[in-house]
Amino acid sequence: MTRWRLDIAYDGANFSGWAAQPDRRTVQGELETWIPRVLRLDAPTPLTVAGRTDAGVHARGQVAHIDLPDDVDTSSMLRRLARVLDPDVVVKSIRPVPDEFDARFSALWRRYVYRLWDESSRPDPLTRFHVAPVRGHLALDRLNAAGKSLLGLRDFAAFCKYREGATTIRTLLDCHAERLDDPCGTVEVTVRADAFCHSMVRSLVGALTAVASGRRDQGWLDEVAASTSRASSVLVMPACGLTLEEVGYPADEDLADRAAQARSRRSHDELCDTCWED
C-alpha cells in the first residue's frame, strides 16, 4: 500500500460540510463513495483531511490523504473522478507521499480567507454565495490593529464552539485585511494559524468587523479575548464568506516529528511557560 496526497477544491454551498453524515451530502461522503468505484476496489477507502470544514464553507486548498494500492494510475483516477463527481467538487491532484505524512497532524498551518462586502463595496450577484455582506463601513486600519492584538499563542475559547475534550489553545500566526482593487471592492480577511477550533475563524471575523465598523472598541475585544469561555457577544459570521485557501506542511524528514507534536494535547501550562519566558 502507498499513501497518497489529494489536493481538493469545492464549493461548499450545497454540502453539509466535509465530514460524512448519514443521509446528508458531504464532501467526504462523495469522495469515499466514488474513489473505490472508479478504482474497482472492494474495500472502503477512508480519507483523513487537513481541516473539517462546516456546512457552506468553501475550499481551494483542502488536503487529504488516503492509503491505496501501489499501482494506482493517478492520471486515470483523476479523469474518472472528474467524470463522475458533480462540478462543485474537484480533485486537483493526487501524488504519493511518505508513510509519515498525515494530512491533519502533519500540517504546520491552515490559511483561511473570509470575504466581505461593506457599504463601500459594489456587490456582484454572481459571486454572492462566496462573500458575506456587513452593515456599515469597515475601517481596515482598526481591523488590522485588532487582528494584530490577537496574534500568538493563546486560549481562543471565547471564539470557539465548545467541544467535550477539545483544547482551544492555538497559535494565531497571521490576521490581516485588505480591500481588493476589484470592481466590487471586496474586503479579504486572511487568518492563518497552526490549527482552528470549531467556528473560530467566523467568530474572529465577527469580532474584528464589530471593531472595524465602530460598533465595538478595542477594549471590548481585549476583554473578550481574555475570557476562558465562549463569548455570547461575538457574532459568528455566515459560512458562505469563508474559504480554506492553503495548508502548509514541513519537509518530508520532519513530518513524523510534526505529527507527534500536533497530537500532544495543549494545556494552559504552555501559556504560563510562554508568559514566564517573556
Active-site residue list: 54
> What is the rounded distance in angstroms from the CA atom of residue 134 to the CA atom of residue 116?
7
Type of residue found at 179: R
112 carries a ligand binding annotation: yes
Those residues whose C-beta lies under 8 Å from the C-beta of residue 77, and which sit 6 or more positions away, are: 35, 38, 39, 94
CA R_g for the chain: 20
Type of residue found at 174: D
C-alpha cell at 145: 490593529
* H or E element in which residue 10 lies: strand 2-10
> What is the rounded distance in angstroms from the CA atom of residue 115 to the CA atom of residue 242?
7
CA neighbor of 228 nearest in space, from 153, 149, 147, 156:
156
Partners of residue 7 on adjacent β-strands:
63, 93
- Counting runs of H as helices and runs of E as strands, what totals does the chain give? 7, 10
Q: Residue-wise over 33-69: b if at least 16 C-beta within 10 A, else e?
A: ebbeebbeeeeebebbbbbebbbbbbbebbbbbbebe
Query: Which residues are documented as binding site for substrate?
Result: 112
Query: Which residues are documented as binding site?
Result: 112
